């Protein structure tokens, strides 16, 4: 059975994958005037704030700018990918067992190229991870589990992620809306082809011991508030090892999310949306797709400090 002590960490890293949160280059210096990864989308009747999130963090990211906190306080609803505060770990374990385990005499080794097998064996030896315990897991589960352990070892705190920060701040009568479900997110990986899963695992293993450095660079890029830097990182990264899987994780979901943002913009309530930063930036990001639909979307500029 999938080890339940990894379930919470796997959920957080799953969100990180879905938001493509890791980076592979140093971030530029903070631009002036100061910015934050927050956009204001407006219609004749409503305002929707779009905040790009990273799902794990540390105390150096806080406090957030006053303009961001004020926009949140005025919102009638906080919109997130999934509400991780109410995530049922037992249910998630069941979903992983449903979608991510081999049955009968099938096993991981039968589905990995020799080179990936050797790299995985080496990783397990160096990190004192029982290799045989992974034999029942499909490649996508192994990849996310390894990433989860690496993020934990790097000292990153899910409680300090941007989405968790705002989930903790919600006060009645504010409500929490979810754009997706745990099962819909897991199904993206579960439905990935064998080649996509193999490439994903190979990419995570290749990243190896650089994870801590990559996380810190991601945070630096995030704090800079420069969407071009975030987009460049996103374009150059190799987190999932597959363009086809990346399309499913980002582009396809961006279309669905944009449709939901348009529903909010046709309403009357002020809305505060927090999703993975990579979903918002770029030509296929939510901000640009809303512009293409005729909405006014501007990145929020902060007061000079």
User: 226-265: per-residue pLDDT in tens?
Assistant: 777 766 665 555 455 678 888 898 899 999 999 999 999 9
Owner of token pair 């819909």? 184
pLDDT on residue 22 = 38
Give residue 186's pLDDT. Answer: 87
How many C-beta atoms surround the C-beta of residue 253 within 10 A?
23
9 pLDDT above the threshold of 50: no
For residue 57, pLDDT over 60 is answered with: yes
% of the chain with per-residue pLDDT over 70: 81
The residue-averaged pLDDT of 180-199 equals 91
Say whether pLDDT at 143 is over 80.
yes
The whole-number average pLDDT for the span 97-107 is 92
The Cα–Cα gap between 4 and 89 comes to: 8
Q: What is the pLDDT of residue 20?
A: 42
The reported pLDDT for the residue numbered 25 is 34
| More confident position, 154 or 191 | 191
pLDDT at 87: 80
> Kind and range of the H or E element at 243?
helix 243-249
As a whole number of angstroms, the distance between CA 82 and CA 15 comes to 9
pLDDT level of residue 297 (50, 70, 90 thresholds): very high
**Which comes out higher in pLDDT, residue 87 or 298?**
298
Instruction: State how far the alpha carbon of 91 is from the alpha carbons of 88, 97, 142, 239, 292, in Å.
Output: 5, 10, 19, 26, 39
What's the average model confidence in pLDDT over 109-124? 96
Residue found by looking up tokens 């794990």 in the block? 56
Mean pLDDT of the chain: 83
Report, as an integer, the average pLDDT of 30-38: 64
Residue 69 has pLDDT above 50, yes or no: yes
Inform me whether the pLDDT recorded for 178 exceeds 50: yes
Q: Tokens representing 218?
A: 């991601």
């Amino acid at each position: 059975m999938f080890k339940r002590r990894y379930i919470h960490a796997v959920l957080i890293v799953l969100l990180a994958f879905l938001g493509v949160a890791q980076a592979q280059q140093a971030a530029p210096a903070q631009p002036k005037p100061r910015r934050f990864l927050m956009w204001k989308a407006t219609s004749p009747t409503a305002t929707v704030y779009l905040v790009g999130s990273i799902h794990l963090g540390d105390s150096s990211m806080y406090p957030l700018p006053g303009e961001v906190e004020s926009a949140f306080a005025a919102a009638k609803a906080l919109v997130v990918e999934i509400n991780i505060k109410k995530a049922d770990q037992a249910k998630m374990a069941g979903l992983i067992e449903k979608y991510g385990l081999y049955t009968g005499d099938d096993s991981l080794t039968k589905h990995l190229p020799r080179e990936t097998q050797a790299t995985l064996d080496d990783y397990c030896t160096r990190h004192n991870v029982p290799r045989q315990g992974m034999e029942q897991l499909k490649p996508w589960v192994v990849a996310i589990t390894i990433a989860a352990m690496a993020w934990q070892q790097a000292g990153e705190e899910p409680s300090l992620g941007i989405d968790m920060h705002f989930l903790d701040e919600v006060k009645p009568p504010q409500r929490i809306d979810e754009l997706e479900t745990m099962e819909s997110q897991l199904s993206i990986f579960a439905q990935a082809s064998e080649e996509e899963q193999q490439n994903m695992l190979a990419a995570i293993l290749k990243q190896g011991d650089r994870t801590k450095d990559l996380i810190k660079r991601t945070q630096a890029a995030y704090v800079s508030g420069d969407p071009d830097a975030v987009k460049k990182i996103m374009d150059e990264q190799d987190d999932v090892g597959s363009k086809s899987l990346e399309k499913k994780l980002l582009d396809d979901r961006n279309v669905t999310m944009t449709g939901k943002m348009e529903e909010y913009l046709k309403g009357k309530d002020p809305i505060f949306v927090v999703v993975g930063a990579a979903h918002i930036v770029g030509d296929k990001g939510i901000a640009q797709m809303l512009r293409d639909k005729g909405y006014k979307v501007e990145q929020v500029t902060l007061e000079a400090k």
